[in-house]
Amino acid sequence: MYPDRFPRNAWYVAARSREVTRSVLSRWLLGDPVALYRREDGRPVALVDRCIHRQLPLSLGRLQGDRIECGYHGLTFDTDGSCVRIPGSSRISDRVRVQAFPLYEEYGLVWIWMGDPELADPALVPDHHWFRSDCWATAEGTLHMAGRAQLLNENLLDLSHLTFLHPESIGSPEVAEAPVHTSYDERVVRVHRTMTDVSCPPFFQKIMQVEGAIDRGQVAEYFAPAFHISQTHIRPAGSGDDVPAFRQMVMHAITPETRTTTHYFWGVARNFALNDPGVTDFAVEAVSQVFQQDIAACEAIEHIIAAWEPSYPLELNIKVDAGPLRARRIIEEMVAAERESSAAPEPHKVDTAARRAAAASRLRAEGRRSVV
């Protein structure tokens, strides 16, 4: 039912850019310990956070220029994971190394690819340019959940819960009753709602200064396996397209930490009150409280389903579950495809440098940064 394994051949948010510095950051991602830091030229590095000698986390060591020295016995590793120094040894095999992970940095986020590095195409990173655009103002935060990542994926695809879980902030009675249209392709699920002449929730009254009834549109967009953009468009009821809409784009990067714990990186971009820090401060506090309610619900569900494993209690699926159920299927298909690929004979490898150069060329043409 609820996937607790996620594909490794995919991009996940590992950290916010400001978190990755010249001090080594240790973070568990997809069940693996990862050490993150920056080279002296500012480029980020990600290595598995364990020395191959006696497993001490490399994050407990120290940086020597761009290299990291284990704090236990002094083995030193370069940014590509190769071991360049073993005290007392003059010759080091090329096979002595730790795993290094491809990274991609854009719009204040550091993305990591923990699968086959030859498949790490930055063009697969979902668009999220709103969060560093002069045309949008942003608020952001980072949360942690003691539950599997799929619970948040499904929470974000079934927004009928706004009526019942968030009635004092972003919910209204009409959300749960509004007709839902679900569409999807191989890796993306979209759930649409259009509501006309409905009540305005307290959160939008506060930040948009809207009184009375509104016309409200919602699109929950999921990019498998772990990224969402939730769009909200609001106008005074009956005002029509001639009146500019208040628009809000909410980013949710849902990164599995372990099988049953999750990192939650969120951001809210708005096209109004661009120079009002008071609106931003209110959004940071209010949105964080909303997402804490989501987390509390998901953690309560985790407590129940964990007690039933390896089976699950019986669940009833209803119309609004089309999006969440499709998300489950996509993740299951991605994991199964990786399993089949690893079991099959290894295909002819394309040169990694050539693949990355080609990807970088495509991104330059699109005006985006190349892979790190």
Structure tokens of 327?
């998300």
Determine how β-strand 246-258 pairs with β-strand 227-236.
antiparallel
Q: How many CA atoms lie within 13 A of 135 on its CB side?
A: 6
Q: pLDDT in tens for each of the 372 residues of the chain?
A: 789 999 999 999 999 999 999 999 999 999 999 999 999 999 999 999 999 999 999 999 999 999 999 999 999 999 999 999 999 988 899 899 999 999 999 999 999 999 999 999 999 999 999 988 999 999 999 999 999 999 999 999 999 999 999 999 999 999 999 999 999 999 999 999 999 999 999 999 999 988 889 999 999 999 999 999 999 999 999 988 878 899 999 999 999 999 999 999 999 999 999 999 999 999 999 999 999 999 999 999 999 999 998 888 889 999 999 999 999 999 999 999 999 887 654 433 344 444 555 555 555 455 555 444
Q: Are residues 151 and 238 in the same domain?
A: yes
Q: Are residues 184 and 105 in the same domain?
A: no
Q: Are residues 259 and 324 in the same domain?
A: yes
Q: Are residues 243 and 197 in the same domain?
A: yes
Peptide bond into 225 cis (omega under 30): yes
- State the total domains in the chain: 2
Distances (CA, A) of 339 to 11, 49, 336, 344: 18, 25, 5, 9
Q: Quote the crossing angle between the two packed helices 149-157 and 277-308, to the nearest 10°.
A: 120
Q: Are residues 159 and 225 in the same domain?
A: yes
Quote the CA–CA distance of 200 and 212 in Å, as a whole number: 7
29 domain residue, yes or no: yes
Q: Are residues 145 and 77 in the same domain?
A: no
Q: Are residues 149 and 260 in the same domain?
A: yes
203 domain residue, yes or no: yes
Nearest to 4 by CA among 336, 333, 332: 332
- Is residue 213 a contact partner of residue 235, using CB atoms and an 8 Å limit? no
User: Which residue range forms the structural domain that includes residue 69?
Assistant: 11-124
CATH number at residue 89: 2.102.10.10
- Is residue 13 a contact partner of residue 255, using CB atoms and an 8 Å limit? yes
155 domain residue, yes or no: yes
Question: Helix (H, G, I), strand (E, B), or coil: what is residue 133?
Answer: coil
Q: Are residues 99 and 238 in the same domain?
A: no
Nearest to 11 by CA among 371, 333, 368: 371
CATH number at residue 313: 3.90.380.10
Q: Are residues 318 and 287 in the same domain?
A: yes
339 domain residue, yes or no: no
187 domain residue, yes or no: yes
Q: Are residues 234 and 309 in the same domain?
A: yes
Nearest to 299 by CA among 287, 310, 291, 309: 291
Question: In the beta sheet, which residues pair with residue 109?
Answer: 16, 106
Burial class for 232, CB neighbours closer than 10 Å (0-12, 13-18, 19+): buried
Chain length of the chain: 372
5 domain residue, yes or no: no
Q: Are residues 141 and 290 in the same domain?
A: yes
Burial class for 141, CB neighbours closer than 10 Å (0-12, 13-18, 19+): middle
63 CB-near residues (< 8 Å, 6+ apart): 22, 24, 37, 69
pTM for the predicted model, two decimal places: 0.89
- Is residue 198 a contact partner of residue 214, using CB atoms and an 8 Å limit? yes
368 domain residue, yes or no: no
360 domain residue, yes or no: no
Q: Are residues 151 and 105 in the same domain?
A: no
